[in-house]
Amino acid sequence: MSGVWGADRVRAAEDEVFKRVPEGALMRRAAFGLANHAMTMLAELTGGVAGRRVTLLVGAGNNGGDALWAGHFLRRRGVAVEAVLLSPDRAHPAGLAALRRSGGRIAADHLAAVRSADLVLDGIVGLSARGPLRPAAAGLVEQVEAPILAVDLPSGVDPDTGVVAGPAVHADATVTFGCLKPVHVLAAGHCGEIHLVDIGIRAELGEPELVVLSDAEVGARWPVPGPTDDKYTQGVTGIAAGSAVYPGAAVLAVGAAIRATSGMVRYAGEAADPVRDRWPEVVATGSVTDTGRVQSWVVGPGLGTGKAGAEVLRRVLAAGVPVCADADAITLLAAEESRWDDRDPDTPMVLTPHDREFARFAGAVGADRVAAARRAAARTGAVVLLKGHATVVAAPDGRVLVNPARSAWLATAGSGDVLAGLIGALLASGLDPLLAAGCAVRAHEVAGQLAARDAPTSASVLVEVLPEAIRTLRLAAGFR
């Protein structure tokens, strides 16, 4: 598990630490770690470090201070260092003095300094960043051809929301201090490879604000049968999805549930024939009223938003088992407030909206996706899984999991149906709904990587590779 803390919490923790450690010591610790990573990067890029050129982009605050101190440490190891001061009057005084002492130069020609660099350190702005890069910094960043190492976070990206509202640094790597911040998981694509330098503030940070599940944690939790299990004891997943018009959603959701766990899947709906044709192991009926007992329901994908769909939703919500409500089920719930009343509030529910579906029942997502998901979860009493490049999963009690995407291959039709089937299977196994959603998102993403292998893929292939994805996760957890 990786914890993630927002800017206010990091500042509060740093203030606590400053009571026992001088401020400058913390910065030097951070900068020393930063310089080490810069050295490694330089060595990998150019085969050596002596005589290589590093240019520092230095803003008005402590982020620039980190860069200046790192420049000082790099100079001591024979690297040529030049600093571009974006606000010369406000550059960190102690950092600037240290750089000068060790023979670092202050660039007179900013463009030339940027153009001649083997590596650029982005110390423009860090945790106090507001909005996109300002024009002078943006103009300079545009001219960078060398790899960029971001100090703490890529400048121009909002530290707490990951929003990129204009020009921003696209880093090859980021060295951050003390802990991960939301930007690193919500805008991972702008950060490049992320390295964490321990500066001794962990104890003061408290409980994380967001959590990223590791592959090993997901693999360890994935339900597998034990010696005394049979097909029923592992939890039976019910899928109420698909229609005559949209049979594919049912085929995909059922397939994902079948491949996710080894128990049993029941299907109820108008797509019983195509579902049975594709998945002979499923027990398929035409209606939710004829389905045998299940331990969870997935309702919504391809269901339709008419009267028939509404009736299916009503029955599923009244069944008293955990529900994953996706797609048309969300639209139906949003269209009529009274439909929420069909649900026993003590029965776990996972809602899986994309942004447009989210807006229908909880208002526009806005810039702060974590806050939006948290708000919607608290209001509905359900786990809210807000889809996107980074997927945010919020529980009604305020806990939040984030899955930072490694690629965008999952942006393909039907991939949401696969996710819904996965969540349904994990709910049926009895997993806590937040974890069921979080583990499903991670397996979905791993399946996306395996399915694509660097070329476009489709939802059917995602279903095919699910066992391989689960195997990958279990291997990470040490199961062989």
Ligand X SMILES: NC(=O)C1=CN([C@@H]2O[C@H](COP(=O)(O)OP(=O)(O)OC[C@H]3O[C@@H](n4cnc5c(N)ncnc54)[C@H](OP(=O)(O)O)[C@@H]3O)[C@@H](O)[C@H]2O)[C@@H](O)CC1
Ligand Y SMILES: Nc1ncnc2c1ncn2[C@@H]1O[C@H](COP(=O)(O)OP(=O)(O)O)[C@@H](O)[C@H]1O
215 in a known ligand binding site: no
Exactly one of 5, 9, 13, 26 binds ligand X (CB under 6 A); which one? Answer: 26
What is the rounded distance in angstroms from the CA atom of residue 83 to the CA atom of residue 102?
A: 13
Exactly one of 42, 124, 316, 323 binds ligand X (CB under 6 A); which one? Answer: 124
Work out the burial of residue 276: count CB atoms within 10 Å of its CB; fewer than 13 is exposed, 13-18 middle, 19 or more buried: middle
Kindly state whether residue 234 participates in binding K ion, applying the rule CB under 5 A: no
Scanning 110-118, 149-157, 261-269, 392-400 for contacts with ligand X by CB under 6 A, the matching segment is: 149-157
Pair 60, 91: CB distance under 8 Å: yes
Smallest CA-to-CA distance from 449 within 469, 463, 467, 464 is with 469
Kindly state whether residue 16 participates in binding ligand X, applying the rule CB under 6 A: no
**Residue window 380-409: x/- pattern of binding to ligand Y, with contact defined by CB under 6 A:** -------xxx-x-------------x--x-
What are the DSSP E strand ranges found in 198-301? 210-212, 236-240, 264-268, 283-285, 296-299
Token duo for residue 476: 């990470």
Pair 206, 233: CB distance under 8 Å: no
195 in a known ligand binding site: no
Kindly state whether residue 20 participates in binding ligand X, applying the rule CB under 6 A: no
Exactly one of 4, 7, 10, 151 binds K ion (CB under 5 A); which one? Answer: 151
Exactly one of 2, 62, 174, 234 binds ligand X (CB under 6 A); which one? Answer: 62
Q: Which residue of this chain has its Cβ atom nearest to ligand Y in the complex?
A: 416
Kindly state whether residue 151 participates in binding ligand X, applying the rule CB under 6 A: yes
Burial 157-194 (b: 16+ CB within 10 A, else e): bbbbbbbbeebbbbbbbbbbbbbbbbbbbbbbbbbbeb
Scanning 22-30, 300-308, 408-416, 465-473 for contacts with ligand X by CB under 6 A, the matching segment is: 22-30
Scanning 98-106, 152-160, 290-298, 386-394 for contacts with K ion by CB under 5 A, the matching segment is: 152-160
Kindly state whether residue 155 participates in binding K ion, applying the rule CB under 5 A: yes
What is the rounded distance in angstroms from the CA atom of residue 220 to the CA atom of residue 474?
A: 6
Sheet holding 2-4, edge to edge: 2-4, 210-212, 400-403, 391-394, 383-386, 349-351, 323-325, 296-299, 236-240, 264-268, 283-285
Q: How far is the CB of 464 from ligand Y (least distance, A)?
A: 16
Kindly state whether residue 274 participates in binding ligand Y, applying the rule CB under 6 A: no
How far is the first Cα of the chain from the last one, in angstroms, to the nearest whole number? 21
Closest to K ion by CB, 155 or 403: 155
For residue 456, the number of C-alpha atoms closer than 13 Å in the C-beta half-sphere is 3
Q: How many CB atoms lie within 10 A of CB 382?
A: 25
Phi, psi of 104 (to 5 degrees): -75, 155
Q: How far is the CB of 7 from ligand X (least distance, A)?
A: 8
Kindly state whether residue 127 participates in binding ligand X, applying the rule CB under 6 A: yes
**Residue window 115-144: x/- pattern of binding to K ion, with contact defined by CB under 5 A:** -------x----------------------
What is the rounded distance in angstroms from the CA atom of residue 79 to the CA atom of residue 53?
A: 6
Kindly state whether residue 71 participates in binding ligand X, applying the rule CB under 6 A: no
Kindly state whether residue 407 participates in binding ligand X, applying the rule CB under 6 A: no
Exactly one of 41, 42, 107, 137 binds ligand X (CB under 6 A); which one? Answer: 137
Pair 256, 242: CB distance under 8 Å: no
Cβ neighbours of residue 102 closer than 8 Å, sequence gap 6 or more: 71, 72, 75, 76
Kindly state whether residue 354 participates in binding ligand Y, applying the rule CB under 6 A: yes
313 in a known ligand binding site: no
What is the rounded distance in angstroms from the CA atom of residue 440 to the CA atom of residue 472?
A: 14
Q: How far is the CB of 9 from ligand Y (least distance, A)?
A: 27
Residues comprising the binding site for AMP? 387-391, 416
Instruction: Name the site residues for ligand Y (rule: CB under 6 A).
Output: 327, 354, 387-389, 391, 405, 408, 410-411, 413-417, 419, 444
Chain residues in the site for ligand X (CB under 6 A): 14, 23, 26-27, 30, 59-64, 66, 124-134, 137, 151-152, 156, 177, 199
| Binding-site sequence positions | 62-66, 122, 126-132, 152, 155, 249, 302, 354, 387-391, 416-417
